[in-house]
């Protein structure tokens, strides 16, 4: 009898679809959305990147557009305020929504100030609508999807109650202060997200591993302590280590904030993600 030959089947290539999203304000919510999508049949993997506001869905087979529409509907069951669109349709304005909130604050302040100055109660209502229309819409949408007693619902009850008893000024003031708080929160989140993205961009993906007379490009994760790494001029140093050959100057502004390049020579320690501005360096990791 002849031994049966093992057959090796090449894995099917994954089909990927990228989206950008908004309306999700916390990493925990993003993780819940990711978990829900990954549980759906036909999905090989799903990644919801909260820092970049992007969703990547991978499938083993090419799917119809209706399949992805159903995935988005499932995601909205987790977070009703979620808004999704294909990544290629992303606009610059969506990357910086703070100016929209700031304009609303200024218009609301103007209406509120004129109402107090000239005793025009209807301007309080104008200020209330400009500041709080999105809060009311989110509360209504969440209630429809069974998500009750969140901050939008509570703010709506409080301010609508004030309007119902004729306290238009108090209702406008409460919702205006809430909008100001949302502005500073969104600003902090955007700054944090920018810092995270900049830190991720510093990471070097590959290293030039020297083995005898040959060099091989390998993933940084494969570099072990004691490895011999070569860094050419204009490249970033992939890992921390010590120079064993060569001399150069390094741009370390992103790491230390120092704008003046640092001169290095054999025996000096170098930090990963530093930019090599001069000659070729051989480094022992």
Same-domain status, 82 and 110? no
Examine residue 157 and state whether it is found in any structural domain, yes or no. yes
Q: Residue 26: exposed, middle, or buried by beta-carbon count in 10 A (0-12, 13-18, 19+)? A: exposed
Q: Do 135 and 59 belong to one domain? A: no
Residues 63-67, mean pLDDT to the nearest whole number? 87
- Among residues 60, 92, 124, the one where a domain terminates is 92
Residue ending a domain, among 92, 124, 152, is: 92
> Can you give the residue range of the structural domain that contains 75?
15-92
Residues 148 and 242 in one domain: no
Which of 40, 96, 47 has its CA nearest to residue 71?
A: 40
Q: 102-111: per-residue pLDDT in tens?
A: 999 999 999 9
CA distance to 97, 148, 158, per residue, from 132 (Å)? 16, 18, 12
Q: Confirm if 225 and 234 have CB atoms less than 8 A apart.
A: no
Q: Is the pLDDT of residue 9 over 60?
A: no
162 vs 256, higher pLDDT:
162
- What is the DSSP-derived secondary structure letter of residue 243? E
State the pLDDT confidence band at 96, using cuts at 50, 70 and 90: low
12-25 pLDDT per residue, tens:
567 888 888 887 87
Cβ neighbours of residue 150 under 8 Å, at least 6 residues apart?
A: 139, 142
Is 4 within a domain? no
Model-wide pTM > 0.95 = no
By CB atoms closer than 10 A (0-12, 13-18, 19+), residue 79 is: buried
| The pLDDT of residue 197 | 67
Residue 149 lies in a domain: yes
CATH number, domain with residue 279? 2.70.150.10
Judgement on whether residues 103 and 80 belong to the same structural domain of the protein: no
Q: Is residue 9 part of a domain?
A: no
Whether residue 218 lies inside any domain: the answer is yes
Computed over every residue of the chain, the mean pLDDT equals 83
User: Does residue 151 surpass a pLDDT of 50?
Assistant: yes
**Can you name the residues that pair with 243 across neighbouring β-strands?**
283
CB 132 within 8 Å of CB 159: yes
Q: Which two tokens stand for residue 111?
A: 């209406």
> Which of these ranges, 41-45, 129-133, 157-161, has the smallest mean pLDDT?
41-45
116 and 145 share one domain = yes
Same domain, 145 and 233: no
- Give 235-285 pLDDT, tens digit per residue: 888 888 899 988 888 888 777 777 788 888 898 888 888 888 888 898 998
Asked if 232 and 208 count as a contact pair (C-beta separation under 8 A), the reply is yes
At 260 the three-state DSSP class reads coil
Residue 189 and residue 141 in one domain: yes
**Span 205-219, average pLDDT:** 84
How many domains does the structure of the chain reveal?
A: 3
Domain boundary among 69, 92, 115: 92
| Tokens describing residue 243 | 């120079």
């Amino acid at each position: 009898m002849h031994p049966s030959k093992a057959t090796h089947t090449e894995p099917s290539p994954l089909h990927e679809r990228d989206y950008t999203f908004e309306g999700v304000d916390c990493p925990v919510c993003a993780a819940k959305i990711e978990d829900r999508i990954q549980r759906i049949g036909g999905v090989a993997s799903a990644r919801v990147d909260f820092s970049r506001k992007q969703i990547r869905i991978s499938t083993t087979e090419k799917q119809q557009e209706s399949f992805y529409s159903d995935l988005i509907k499932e995601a909205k069951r987790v977070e009703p305020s979620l808004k999704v669109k294909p990544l290629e349709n992303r606009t610059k304005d969506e990357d910086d929504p703070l100016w929209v909130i700031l304009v609303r604050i200024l218009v609301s302040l103007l209406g509120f100030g004129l109402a107090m100055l000239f005793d025009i109660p209807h301007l309080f209502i104008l200020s209330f609508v400009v500041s709080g229309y999105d809060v009311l819409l989110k509360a209504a949408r969440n209630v429809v999807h069974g998500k009750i007693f969140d901050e939008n619902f509570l703010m709506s009850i409080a301010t609508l109650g004030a309007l119902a008893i004729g306290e238009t000024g108090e209702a406008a003031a409460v919702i205006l202060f809430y909008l100001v708080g949302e502005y500073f929160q969104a600003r902090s989140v955007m700054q944090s997200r920018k810092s995270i993205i900049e830190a991720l961009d510093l990471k070097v993906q590959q290293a030039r591993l020297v083995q005898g007379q040959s060099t091989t490009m390998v993933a940084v994760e494969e570099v072990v302590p004691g490895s011999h790494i070569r860094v050419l001029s204009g490249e970033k140093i992939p890992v921390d280590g010590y120079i064993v050959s060569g001399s150069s100057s390094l741009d370390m502004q992103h790491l230390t904030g120092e704008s003046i390049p640092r001169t290095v020579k054999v025996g000096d320690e170098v930090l990963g993600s530093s930019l090599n501005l001069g000659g070729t360096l051989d480094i022992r990791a």
